[in-house]
Structures are given as structure tokens and as C-alpha cells.
């Protein structure tokens, strides 16, 4: 039993001992029934928020107006929500008012049947008012009640339906699917951070094939063109058949992300966006299809997309690196030893080479240059000729340098001098930076 499950069961036991109903609720019940390890556990109760706060010592009223309190008495913080009925949603996300309700009424406000079940932690009996168990058996994502009404309450549910279907390997029930198609254009009316969170989860939470399935569903539901029009633009963009026998840029990208298996956020976004500039750089010269500059232009577009999805600077800087450098391996055999060493010494090289491997396997399948780079990387590492960087961005920030492109420029210069054997210690590096790159006066 995980720490979170133990904590949730302890919370439920205390609520019961105080005379209240307390059930495990939502996604944790779904995952337990599927034999999956739940990431989170939620408790639903008839105890009002003020009573919950009196029964436990460490509580945080994160949404007390909606009946939600975090309880951390037994280690991990567990969300405890009062059974409630919700009035009209005015902002496509939150109800205008809530009322205390029964478990049966509470189940009706939830998004999908597979997320609307309860579990009695004392008897392990499933309490199912919405047909979730049957839809689990049928591998269906079905909205509770009228699909359009559920979407109107929270438009993010359209993306959640896609994510659940992809990660679980389920289908979206026809009327729910039709409601998503009819309302797809409304998805951009919610916070981009929430959209970005769902896109990242689609790319990173599932095993092989899950991300591809998610993006195929985003396309068929009509959501893709609204949340990631740059990716939708890949459809029908021809590529040279001698290099890309698999087909257009969209097909190639699906084959790349189809190889992701619980990948890091940066590798996943790099895989999705590595050819994002091909639609805008495609040209024909003497009958040949070209994409000159698509790596550099793609890096710029990747930054803009990551910023739109409200990802952190650390994420979009790494993704831009992966996109810009993903074809540089082609020239590795012709590089001078010092140039090759600098290429392989870059921060993020392991992720870059993994992207390169997936990119090749999704096209002509010739891994010769990738194998050469991997072998050289291991050789350099065994020799100790690729030491850890003397400085990182946090060191420059701590020294008073402002965040921005200048940080990367300084780090690259220091890294080159380190690899040339001209800087040996962190202190030497900081002194050199202070001399060559005076801090800008604020």
C-alpha cells in the first residue's frame, strides 16, 4: 500500500469514527479497479469543510468555498471534498455556487463514468451510480449525463477525454465524441496553462503508442487545429521519399512520438516539435523538396509554442536545443575531434541522441551516425574528457546576472574554455566571467 493510499484510508477512518460517511472517490477508484497504481487518492465525505478542519490538525482550505480541504495529518496531503451539488458554471471551469448533497448526486457532477465511482475503504465495496464499472469493462470514455452539458461546465474535459482514451487504450463513446467535435473551437477559451498541462500529460504519461494515439484523437476530434495549429499544419506536407519513405511530416511526427514511453517533458515536446517548421520552410529546387533552415526556425517556433502552453524557461530552452540540433549528428564523422567533443559535451546530449534515434527509426532507419555518436560519447566519458560543466545557469544567477539569452552565451563560452583546458575550476570560471562579462547595472 502506498503512502498516499494509507493516508487516505486513515483520514476516512477518522471521519467514520466521528459519525460521517467517507469514501475513496474518482480516479483512484478507477485505477484500483484497473490494477494500476493510483497517482493520487481523494476522499469524499458528508462532513462540511469546517468539520473536516476541526477533526484534523494539518489542513489547508484550498477550495473550502467548493467544499475542498487538503489534509496532511498522515503524511502526504490528501484532498477531502464534501459531497456536493453544483449550480450553473459561469466561466467554463467553476460553479457559481455549491450545495451539500448525497453521494449519488455528487457522482452526477463528475466528468466521465469511469471517474464517477466511489469505494468504501472499510469494506472495499464499489459504489457506482453512473455505470462506470460497465464502461471500464467495455473500455469506454463516456460523459456522465448529457455530454454537451459536462463540456460546458469545464471545457478542459474535452482534452481530458482524449488523454484518458490514449493512456488507458480506451475508445471515446460516440455521443461524447460528437459533443467534443461540436465544441472543439471553444477549447481556447480556457487558461493556456491548463491546456499545456494536458498536452504534456498526453505525451508523457503513457507507454509506447499512447502519445501517437492521443494526437490522432486530437486530430479526429478537431481539437488539434485549435490548441496546436503548427502541428496540424504538418498534414499533407510532402518530404523527399528517399529520406522519408514513411510519408508526410504529420505521419513522420506520429511515428516519432509513437516511440515515447513515459518520456521526460523536454524529450516529449522535442519529439513533437522537431520538424514543426517544415510546413513554413518547404520549397522545391530543381524538382527536389527542401526544408532549408527548418531546424533554426523550428527552435524559434518551439519556444513560442512552449511559452503559449505556459511551460517554464528551463523546458523551452531545452526543447529549443533539441529542435535546433536534431540534424547536426549527420556531420559528426566529418567533424574535427575538438568540434565533435564540443558537440557531444553539450548539456542535454543524451536526450538529443535519443531524439535522433527515434527520428531515424521513423524515417530511413539508418542508425550509422547515431551509433558513431553514441560510441564516441561513451569513449569520451570513459577518458574523462567530458567533465561536468564548471558553471551552470544557477551559478550565474546567484552571481547577480539577469536571466536571459546572455546566460546561455556565457555558459557556452566557459564550456569551450573548459574543454580546451584553459579553465579548470569553478573559481577560475567565475573570475573569467566577471572580467569578460561585466554585470549589467540595474
Asked if residue 107 has pLDDT above 90, the reply is yes
What is the model's pLDDT at position 77? 96
What is the model's pLDDT at position 403? 82
Exposed/middle/buried for residue 257 (C-beta within 10 Å: 0-12, 13-18, 19+)? buried
Q: Do domains 139-212 and 228-328+349-383 have the same CATH topology?
A: no
Q: Which of 39, 76, 44, 45 is nearest to 60 (CA)?
A: 76
Asked if residue 96 has pLDDT above 50, the reply is no
* Block residue for cell numbers 494536458: 198
Q: How many CB atoms lie within 10 A of CB 213?
A: 20
Query: What average pLDDT does the segment 319-331 reach?
Result: 96
Pairing of strands 171-172, 140-141: parallel
The backbone region for 40, taken as left when phi is positive above 0, alpha when psi lies in -120 to 50, beta otherwise, is: beta
Cell for 34?
484497473
Give the angle 235-265-297 at the CA atoms, nearest 5°. Answer: 50
What is the model's pLDDT at position 164? 97
Asked if residue 401 has pLDDT above 60, the reply is yes
139-212 CATH, one of 1.50.10, 1.10.110, 1.10.10, 2.60.40: 1.10.110
Higher model confidence: residue 94 or residue 236? 236
What is the model's pLDDT at position 88? 56
The CATH H-level superfamily of 3-135 is Beta Polymerase, domain 2 (3.30.460.10)
What is the model's pLDDT at position 211? 98
What is the model's pLDDT at position 173? 98
Residue 26 CA to residue 114 CA, distance in Å, equals 8
Exposed/middle/buried for residue 382 (C-beta within 10 Å: 0-12, 13-18, 19+)? exposed
Asked if residue 382 has pLDDT above 60, the reply is yes
Reported as type and span, the H/E element at residue 289 is strand 288-290
The CATH H-level superfamily of 228-328+349-383 is Hypothetical protein af1432 (1.10.3210.10)
Asked if residue 160 has pLDDT above 60, the reply is yes
Residue 372 CA to residue 329 CA, distance in Å, equals 9
Q: What is the pLDDT of residues 416-436, one digit of tens each?
A: 888 888 888 999 999 998 888
* Block residue for cell numbers 584553459: 422
Helix (H, G, I), strand (E, B) or coil at 420: coil
Query: What average pLDDT does the segment 173-183 reach?
Result: 98
- Rounded to two decimals, what is the model's pTM? 0.87
The backbone region for 293, taken as left when phi is positive above 0, alpha when psi lies in -120 to 50, beta otherwise, is: left
Residue 36 CA to residue 41 CA, distance in Å, equals 13
Distances (CA, A) of 158 to 33, 93, 240, 325: 23, 12, 36, 34
Alpha-carbon dihedral angle through residues 225, 226, 227, 232, given to the nearest 10 degrees: 10
Residue 43 CA to residue 14 CA, distance in Å, equals 12
Query: What average pLDDT does the segment 298-318 reach?
Result: 95
Higher model confidence: residue 379 or residue 402? 379
Please, which contacts does 94-99 make with residues 24 or more away whose CB atoms are closer than 8 Å? 94/66, 95/66, 95/153, 98/65, 98/66, 98/67
Higher model confidence: residue 405 or residue 182? 182
| Mean pLDDT of all residues belonging to the chain | 92
Residue 358 contacts by C-beta under 8 Å, 6 or more apart in sequence?
Answer: 256, 259, 260, 271
Q: What is the pLDDT of residues 242-267, one digit of tens each?
A: 889 998 999 999 999 999 999 999 99
Give the angle 131-133-137 at the CA atoms, nearest 5°. Answer: 120
Q: What is the pLDDT of residues 37-55, one digit of tens each?
A: 999 999 999 999 999 999 9
Query: Which range, of 80-94, 380-394, 420-434, averages the lowest pLDDT?
Result: 80-94
Residue 41 CA to residue 76 CA, distance in Å, equals 10
- The confidence band for 415, taking pLDDT boundaries of 50, 70 and 90, is confident
Domain coordinates in residue numbering, the chain:
3-135, 139-212, 228-328+349-383, 393-436
Q: What is the pLDDT of residues 195-240, one digit of tens each?
A: 999 999 999 999 999 999 999 999 999 999 999 999 999 999 999 9
Residue 241 CA to residue 438 CA, distance in Å, equals 51
Asked if residue 362 has pLDDT above 60, the reply is yes
Amino acid at each position: 500500500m502506498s503512502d498516499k493510499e494509507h493516508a487516505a484510508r486513515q483520514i476516512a477512518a477518522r471521519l467514520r469514527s466521528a459519525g460521517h460517511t467517507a469514501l475513496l472517490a474518482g480516479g483512484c477508484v478507477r485505477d484500483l479497479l484497473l490494477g494500476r497504481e493510483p497517482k493520487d487518492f481523494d476522499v469524499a465525505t458528508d462532513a462540511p469543510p469546517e468539520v473536516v478542519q476541526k477533526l484534523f490538525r494539518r489542513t489547508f482550505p484550498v477550495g473550502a468555498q467548493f467544499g475542498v480541504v487538503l489534509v496532511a495529518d498522515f503524511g502526504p496531503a490528501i484532498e477531502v471534498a464534501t459531497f456536493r451539488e453544483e449550480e450553473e458554471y459561469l466561466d467554463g471551469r467553476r460553479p457559481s455556487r455549491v450545495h451539500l448533497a448525497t453521494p449519488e448526486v455528487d457522482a452526477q457532477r463528475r466528468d466521465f463514468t469511469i471517474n464517477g465511482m466511489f469505494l468504501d475503504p472499510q469494506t472495499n465495496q464499489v459504489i457506482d451510480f453512473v455505470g462506470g464499472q460497465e464502461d471500464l469493462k467495455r473500455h469506454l470514455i463516456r460523459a456522465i449525463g448529457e455530454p454537451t452539458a459536462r463540456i460546458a461546465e469545464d471545457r478542459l474535459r474535452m482534452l481530458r477525454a482524449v488523454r484518458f482514451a490514449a493512456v488507458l487504450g480506451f475508445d471515446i463513446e460516440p455521443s461524447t465524441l460528437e459533443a467534443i467535435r461540436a465544441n472543439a473551437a471553444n477549447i481556447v477559451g480556457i487558461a493556456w496553462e491548463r491546456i499545456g498541462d494536458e498536452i504534456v500529460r498526453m505525451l508523457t504519461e503513457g507507454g509506447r503508442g499512447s502519445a501517437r494515439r492521443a494526437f490522432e484523437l486530437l486530430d479526429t476530434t478537431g481539437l488539434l487545429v485549435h490548441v496546436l495549429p503548427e502541428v496540424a499544419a504538418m498534414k499533407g506536407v510532402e518530404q523527399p521519399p528517399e529520406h522519408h519513405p514513411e510519408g508526410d511530416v504529420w505521419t513522420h511526427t506520429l511515428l516519432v512520438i509513437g516511440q515515447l514511453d513515459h518520456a521526460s517533458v523536454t524529450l516529449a515536446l522535442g519529439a513533437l516539435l522537431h520538424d514543426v517548421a517544415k510546413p513554413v520552410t518547404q520549397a522545391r529546387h530543381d524538382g527536389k523538396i527542401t526544408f532549408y533552415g527548418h531546424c533554426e526556425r523550428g527552435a524559434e517556433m518551439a519556444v513560442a509554442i512552449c511559452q503559449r502552453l505556459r511551460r517554464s524557461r528551463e523546458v523551452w530552452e531545452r526543447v529549443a536545443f533539441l529542435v535546433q540540433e536534431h540534424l547536426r549528428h549527420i556531420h559528426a564523422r566529418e567533424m574535427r575531434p575538438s568540434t565533435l567533443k564540443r558537440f557531444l559535451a553539450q548539456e542535454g546530449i543524451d536526450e538529443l541522441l535519443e531524439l535522433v534515434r527515434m527520428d531515424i527509426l521513423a524515417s530511413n532507419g539508418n542508425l550509422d551516425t547515431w551509433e558513431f555518436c553514441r560510441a564516441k560519447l561513451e569513449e569520451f566519458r570513459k577518458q574523462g574528457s567530458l567533465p561536468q560543466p564548471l558553471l551552470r545557469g544557477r551559478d550565474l544567477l546567484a552571481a547577480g546576472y539577469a536571466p536571459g539569452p546572455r546566460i546561455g552565451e556565457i555558459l557556452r563560452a566557459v564550456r569551450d574554455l573548459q574543454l580546451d583546458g584553459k579553465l579548470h575550476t569553478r573559481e577560475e570560471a567565475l573570475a573569467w566571467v566577471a572580467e569578460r562579462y561585466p554585470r549589467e547595472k540595474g
